[in-house]
A and B are shown apart, each in its own frame.
Chain A
Amino acid sequence: MTAMATLARTALAAASALLLATGALAQPKPPAAKPPADAALIAKGEYLARAGDCIACHTKPEGALFAGGRPMLTPFGTLHTSNITPDSDTGIGKWTADQFYAMMHTGRFPDGGLLYPAMPFASYTKVTREDSDAIYAYLRSIPAVRQSNRPHDLSFPYNNRSLILGWRTLFFSEGEYKPDPKQSEEWNRGAYLVEGLGHCGMCHTAINALGGSSESQAFQGGLIPMQNWYAPSLTSNREAGLGDWSLEEIGDYLKKGVSTRGAVYGPMAEVVYNSLQYMTDADIRAMAIYLKSLAQGSPPAPATTRLPSSESSLLLTLGKSIYDRDCASCHGAQGLGKVPHYPPLAGNQSIQMSSAVNAIRMVLNGGFPPSTGGNPTPYGMPPFAQSLSDDEVAAVVTYIRTAWGNRGAAVSAREANTLRSAPLD
């Protein structure tokens, strides 16, 4: 239905563009048919555009493919994504392959203007010329949509683009991915995808007050601004470090959205839904090998709670009774879950991390893992925001963070309360 509606809209837009073109009398019409690019190249470009998850930002819900116009909330104001269809006036139809590569590689528009770093050019700079050309060929092949870009809505002083120069000096180092000769070909392929098109570091590296992330903290995790989900560290086994996951478990998690170790929710569900589920098994395996190698094997640290012990023990008693009533029927009295559909809680890293944000949000908001080719009809977790008080949420989250040998710290009702107003979209 949606695809049909999109098609219809595209056809309409194309028809009106045609009318405009014929209306302009003396104007010589641009050649209607471009020389057909190699179908294999286009297919490769489509695949790589998926790997880069371009659609997540450059397509508005119910909007035409890659016509942009999606508002992106940032701490500095609202950015409106751009039209990257081959329309010559409102899209990138006039761009050459050289200019497209220069944009990916240097973060500059064809006229030399600076891109806002919401476009992950700090990652895309690692993309090879060959892959950039394939993506370019694909973007030339999709229907042109006439839709003007909306100006960004940024507050002072962030509306001054020259500030980006400062940001670039601090946080941007230009350069294609350089394979590490000491590592296998698979590892290098994985690193290329994760660090480049996958732009995983955009969330999994802490963002500082300047909206930048420093390379020395790469993949160490951080709270995602505006969304209030915590993107865990990929280097620490105490968080989402994958050191003791098997390649199959990592692959399932990335491609199906569910695994015997845990399932994806929140912003990561978007990534799996729009991007990772379409990756080949070989590429998923390569990414898994690289991600596993990032993890620095460290034994779980003992929990340090910020709450007085009398309060913690009260929380635990209450938490257990809530767990047994509301959670155990799916996740099991011992927290083993019914994998992969009801994730295990015992030993689940994402529950024990020092940040309790994700665990609290799951209890408040529930959630579905994404529909994927490998798991088309996922099982959903109910939201408990309406039925549990802040104290009860804190109690049950404290319980799952500390029961069955889990080593997380207790959480307070205040933390639970703060996340009630976290944005849901």
Chain B
Amino acid sequence: MVGFRGIIAVIGLLAFPALAPAARAQTAEQPPDTMEARLLGCAPCHGAAGEGTNNAYFPRLAGKPSGYLANQLIAFRNGRRRYPPMNYLLSYLSEDYLVLMANYYAGQTPPLPAPAVPDVSRDMLAHGTRLIDQGDYNRGIPACSSCHGPSLTGMEPAIPGLLGLRAAYISAQLGGWRYGTRTAPAPDCMQVVAGHMTEDDVKAVAAVLAARPAPPDPSPVPKGSFVLPFPCGSQPQ
């Protein structure tokens, strides 16, 4: 039966030679079978390897833990995380494909950008540094490093590194957590932490994070490298 159909197809090609070039063109002119080619649509804002672009509000994706990236892609697809251009692009993509995308960007290792020159006062810098490395116990703010890692490079599978991002982006995200426009599955640890922060805290932390130089190894630490100070829905322990 298959053979019979095959013969018909061959006869068809012979009978209509005009169709043959089109059929050939179809097999010859194919885009590369790579994730990079599939994700060209993401490159204008995030860079071809997820290294980020000049626009401070579009984050670097490269080298973030794949679980974190997958959580974000799924949240954008489902509309939990709101940014209309992202919601639109991902609406009809399967979870399997979003995980492949996350793995692709997680595996990229372009160098981190040069640290930013902070544009806040010395006091603010000191305040931001204290919050990042020590937190503020009395106000219920743990050190950023207690979850995001001693070098702030994140922890597998789902806690993001905080380096290589611009202050505008960090501050917009912390603002989103504070006002409840950015959420994650319960217990939503970042919402709790950001809810305890003031606008000045956010400004100080964002400025210091954007200015912090990259450690020699910018990759996230393995899963279970340390115990989180409290439970987090995105990173089941």
Contacts and interface: CB of A to CB of B under 8 A. Distances in A.
A382 interface: yes
Contact of B44 (A342, A368, A386): A386
Given A269-B92, A338-B30, A386 B80 contact: no
Contact of A270 (B30, B37, B45, B91): B91
Given A370-B92, A424-B88, A379 B37 contact: yes
Contact of A425 (B25, B31, B84, B185): B84
A338 B33 CA distance: 12
B41 A381 contact: yes
Nearest to A366: B41
Contacts, number: 106
Interface residues of A, number: 40
B197 interface: no
B78 A2 contact: yes
B94 A365 contact: no
A371 B85 contact: no
Nearest to B84: A424
B126 interface: no
Interface in A226-278: 260, 269-270, 272-273
B42 A380 contact: yes
A97 interface: no
B85 A368 contact: no
A338 B89 contact: no
A380 B97 contact: no
Contact of A371 (B40, B87, B93): B93
Contacts of A2: 74, 78, 95
A270 B45 CA distance: 24
B233 to A, nearest CB: 10
A341 B87 contact: no
B29 A338 contact: yes
A332 B92 contact: no
A387 B44 contact: yes
Contact of A377 (B38, B45, B78): B38
Interface in A36-56: none
A273 B97 CA distance: 13
B40 A330 contact: yes
Given A370-B93, A371-B94, A341 B41 contact: no
A269 B38 contact: no
A385 B185 CA distance: 32
Interface in A283-336: 330, 332, 336
A380 B39 contact: yes
Interface string B52-82: 0001000000000000000000100111100
A1 B78 contact: no
Contacts of B29: 332, 336-339
Contacts of A151: none
30 contacts: A1-B95, A260-B22, A270-B91, A272-B92, A273-B91, A273-B92, A338-B31, A339-B29, A341-B31, A342-B31, A365-B88, A365-B89, A366-B41, A367-B88, A368-B89, A369-B92, A370-B93, A371-B94, A371-B96, A377-B97, A378-B93, A379-B37, A380-B40, A380-B41, A382-B40, A383-B85, A384-B44, A386-B44, A386-B55, A425-B84
